[in-house]
């Protein structure tokens, strides 16, 4: 089956059609939750339109740690049900939904963390392994936790402090790119007939539809009729729904060159001072960068549209914590870039400190009849979407069963098939079975690097415009690729991105 190409022309046609005919379900919000709901509903046979005032994954969904967590932190707080739900959803993502985008990643808790931290880590990760027993695909998705000696620890994290004498290794799922997961959900939803309408803002919503503004055409407001409306706008949910109370938390990361840590093959895991359940991670990426994170700071006041940024104290905490495990300490001068995201934590489902806030989600219906879904996390987006669409289906009298537990995204395939593809490992990791198609549509200069030293190619930029609804330089550099995480790389890539966009504007 040919995959659909999402581009500006298709967007304009589908916006006109959705406004003219109406839909069964209007989803507001193009992050992982909204895209997951659109796919779930469309795959059940509902007519679906998703509207997003910016680009897909423009908000919180592109600022995660790029991890598909098994829920170890919840075990520390006794939330066994939440931990098992995370482990179940991780297994579904890694074995069926998006195995091309997720790889098993080892995490090392070094002996320098202290005997108590290593012992607790071993007990906790062992309990996490037990959680996977009985889950479909659970035990096969990841190796079991184990102790490693000094030699093995330095093999996987060469930059370890000289005092390190081994440690505990456990495994979790690393998402190659969170924004690409959202894009895969949206494009797969389009396969099932969903209209994916970016740069369309819902200014008012009700039980029977919404008022929209096309932010590209800047025309008069549009009205779309819908039999049901779901508000999936994350930390901005309160702008459209009455009675939604959120307590956002900022999670910040730093970007450094992996070479400074000896090009690690595992994530270095260091407990935060004074905590038994919070860690700072050094997460190696495929492009030669490593992300240091994550903080958990409460955000007071209204949430604006601008991207959140780490504050000085967060930068200091991240560096100081990770440096306790490194032979060559990192300094502010080593930080090439940074990013931060806001978690939509739900007030009333939380305990008393930001660090221990629950990641449970909440689905509520306001006085206008709009269903709002808030809270949760990236790993559990599919279960959240299933619950929301179950409620929509019951409301519409169309209770079709959910299909997403076994529904692969565009590009998904088993490891043996991915390994056999005639394409570069970089393209296979990001596009799966579409890797050859990406390379084939790039033109004679397509396999050239956009920025010397980074694996991102010009073909990826062209493919993004032609098939992935990229319409601006920001779309290309900050979401379809992650070049923009390092300002100097973004500046170097800017002329190339502008050139690619110009090719299509004059075509």
Measure the CA–CA gap between 161 and 154, rounded to whole angstroms: 9
Residue 99 pLDDT > 70, yes or no? yes
The reply to whether the predicted model has a pTM over 0.85 is yes
Residue 358 pLDDT > 60, yes or no? no
Q: What would the mean pLDDT of 83-100 be, rounded to a whole number?
A: 91
Confidence of residue 359 (pLDDT cuts 50, 70, 90): low
Average pLDDT, the chain: 90
Residue 412 pLDDT > 50, yes or no? yes
Q: Measuring CA to CA, which residue among 267, 296, 265, 269 is closest to residue 280?
A: 269
Could you tell me the sign of the dihedral formed by the alpha carbons of 28, 34, 38, 41, in that order?
negative
pLDDT for the residue 356 = 37
Confidence of residue 47 (pLDDT cuts 50, 70, 90): very high
Torsion of the alpha carbons at 59, 62, 68 and 73, rounded to the nearest 10: -60
Measure the CA–CA gap between 292 and 174, rounded to whole angstroms: 14
Lowest mean pLDDT across 151-155, 183-187, 243-247, 277-281:
243-247
| Fold assignment, 101-175+249-343 | D-Amino Acid Oxidase; Chain A, domain 2 (3.30.9)
Percent of the chain's residues with pLDDT above 90: 72
pLDDT for the residue 137 = 65
pLDDT for the residue 354 = 37
| CA-based R_g, the chain, Å | 22
pLDDT for the residue 76 = 63
Measure the CA–CA gap between 131 and 426, rounded to whole angstroms: 32
Is the Cβ–Cβ distance between 232 and 373 less than 8 Å? yes
Residue 53 pLDDT > 60, yes or no? yes
Q: What is the pLDDT of residues 313-354, one digit of tens each?
A: 999 999 999 999 999 999 999 999 999 999 888 765 544 333
Name the one residue in this structure whose structure tokens are 């969903």: 194
Confidence of residue 394 (pLDDT cuts 50, 70, 90): very high
Q: What is the pLDDT of residues 423-449, one digit of tens each?
A: 999 999 999 999 999 999 888 899 999
pLDDT for the residue 306 = 86
More confident residue, 116 or 393: 393
Q: What would the mean pLDDT of 5-21 be, rounded to a whole number?
A: 95
More confident residue, 49 or 244: 49
Confidence of residue 357 (pLDDT cuts 50, 70, 90): very low
pLDDT for the residue 78 = 66
pLDDT for the residue 348 = 57
Domain residue spans in the chain? 8-61+179-245+357-406, 101-175+249-343, 415-505
pLDDT for the residue 184 = 97
Confidence of residue 20 (pLDDT cuts 50, 70, 90): very high
Q: What would the mean pLDDT of 273-283 be, rounded to a whole number?
A: 85
The three-point CA angle 44-46-49 to 5° equals: 125
Six-digit token string for 332 = 């502010």
Q: Measuring CA to CA, which residue among 321, 251, 280, 257 is closest to residue 108?
A: 280
Six-digit token string for 166 = 């081994």
Q: What is the pLDDT of residues 280-296, one digit of tens each?
A: 999 999 999 999 999 98
Lowest mean pLDDT across 155-164, 249-258, 265-274, 366-375:
366-375
pLDDT for the residue 1 = 46
Is the Cβ–Cβ distance between 327 and 161 less than 8 Å? yes
Q: What is the pLDDT of residues 362-372, one digit of tens each?
A: 898 887 889 99
The reply to whether CATH 3.50.50.60 applies to domain 8-61+179-245+357-406 is yes
Q: What is the pLDDT of residues 420-429, one digit of tens each?
A: 999 999 999 9
More confident residue, 418 or 128: 418
Which CATH superfamily groups domain 415-505? Alpha-glycerophosphate oxidase, cap domain (1.10.8.870)
Q: What would the mean pLDDT of 61-88 be, rounded to a whole number?
A: 79
Residue 245 pLDDT > 90, yes or no? no
pLDDT for the residue 98 = 97
Residue 507 pLDDT > 70, yes or no? no
Residue 355 pLDDT > 70, yes or no? no
pLDDT for the residue 242 = 76
Residue 114 pLDDT > 70, yes or no? yes
Antiparallel, parallel or unpaired: β 167-175 and 67-68: antiparallel
Lowest mean pLDDT across 37-51, 181-195, 356-370, 469-483:
356-370
């Amino acid at each position: 089956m040919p995959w659909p190409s999402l581009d500006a022309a298709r967007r304009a046609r589908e916006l006109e059609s959705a406004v003219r005919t109406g839909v069964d379900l209007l989803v507001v919000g193009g992050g992982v939750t909204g895209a997951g709901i659109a796919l779930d509903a469309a795959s059940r046979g509902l007519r679906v339109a998703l509207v997003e005032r910016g680009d897909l994954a423009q908000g919180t969904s592109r600022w995660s740690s790029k991890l598909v967590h098994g829920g170890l932190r919840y075990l520390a707080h006794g939330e066994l049900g939440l931990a098992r739900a995370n482990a179940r959803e991780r297994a579904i993502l890694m074995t069926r939904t998006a195995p091309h985008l997720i790889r098993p990643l080892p995490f090392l808790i070094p002996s320098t963390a202290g005997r108590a931290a290593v012992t607790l880590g071993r007990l906790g990760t062992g309990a996490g392994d037990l959680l996977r027993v009985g889950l479909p695909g659970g035990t096969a998705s990841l190796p079991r936790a184990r102790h490693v000696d000094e030699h093995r620890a330095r093999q996987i994290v060469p930059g370890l402090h000289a005092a390190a004498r081994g440690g505990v290794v456990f495994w979790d799922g690393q998402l190659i790119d969170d924004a690409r997961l959202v894009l895969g959900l949206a494009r797969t939803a389009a396969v099932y007939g969903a209209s994916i309408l970016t740069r369309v803002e819902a200014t008012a919503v009700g039980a029977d539809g919404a008022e929209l503004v096309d932010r590209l055409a800047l025309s008069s407001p549009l009205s779309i009729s819908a039999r049901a409306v779901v508000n999936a706008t994350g930390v901005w949910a309160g702008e459209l729904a009455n009675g939604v109370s959120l307590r956002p938390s900022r999670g910040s990361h730093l970007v450094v060159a992996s070479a400074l840590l000896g090009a690690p093959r595992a994530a270095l895991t260091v407990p935060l001072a004074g905590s038994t359940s919070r860690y700072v991670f050094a997460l190696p990426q495929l492009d030669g960068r490593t992300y240091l994170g994550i903080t958990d700071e409460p955000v007071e006041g209204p949430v604006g549209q601008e991207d959140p940024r780490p504050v000085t104290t967060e930068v200091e905490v991240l560096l100081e914590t990770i440096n306790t495990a490194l032979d060559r300490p990192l300094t502010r001068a080593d930080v090439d870039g940074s990013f931060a995201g806001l978690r939509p934590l739900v007030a009333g489902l939380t305990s008393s400190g930001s660090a221990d806030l629950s990641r449970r989600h909440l689905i509520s219906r306001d006085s206008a009849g709009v269903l709002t879904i808030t809270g949760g996390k990236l790993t559990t987006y599919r279960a959240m979407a299933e619950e929301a669409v179950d409620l929509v289906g019951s409301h519409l009298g169309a209770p079709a069963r959910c299909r997403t537990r076994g529904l692969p995204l565009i590009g998904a395939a088993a490891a043996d098939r991915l390994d056999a593809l005639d394409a570069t490992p970089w393209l296979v990791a990001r596009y799966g079975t579409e890797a050859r198609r990406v390379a084939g549509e790039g033109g004679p200069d397509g396999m050239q690097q956009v920025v010397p030293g980074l694996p991102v190619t010009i073909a990826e930029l062209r493919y993004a415009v032609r098939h992935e609804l990229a319409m601006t330089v920001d779309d290309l550099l900050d979401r379809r690729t992650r070049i923009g995480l390092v300002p100097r790389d973004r500046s170097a890539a800017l002329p190339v991105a502008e050139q690619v966009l110009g090719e299509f504007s004059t075509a």
